[in-house]
Amino acid sequence: MRSNLHALTDIEESTSFLRNSLKLLNCFHKSSPVFAVQICTMVSGKRVADVGYKLVSGSLMLLTVYGAFLCAVRVKQYLEWKHRTLEDSSQISPAEPVK
């Protein structure tokens, strides 16, 4: 009997604490528009961070694609240069060996 009474008292204390906490939060929220502004600011700050992250990652992807393009152009130029020099060297007749 005593343990049931103890449990009932604990439940009543918990519910009264929760009820008082909710009243306090409700009064604070209604009386202070700053609280609502802070919530809105946090949401917009998160959105700004998300947009910034997407912009940075997008720009890094574009830089990667541009770098790959520049490397491909440079490799093409090198292969063309090498092909030209091999053609030029084959067109020049080798000198006659000295007897």
pLDDT (0 to 100) of residue 88: 83
Distance CA 6, CA 1 (A): 9
Question: Are 33 and 39 within 8 A, CB to CB?
Answer: no
Q: Whole-prediction pTM value?
A: 0.45
Query: How big is the chain by its Cα radius of gyration, in Å?
Result: 39
Packing angle, helices 2-31 and 33-91, rounded to 10:
80
Give the HSE-up count for residue 48: Cα atoms under 13 Å, Cβ half-sphere: 6
pLDDT digits (tens, 9 = 90+) for 15-60: 777 676 666 555 555 555 555 555 555 568 888 888 899 999 999 9
In the structure, what pLDDT confidence band is assigned to residue 89 with cuts at 50, 70 and 90?
A: confident
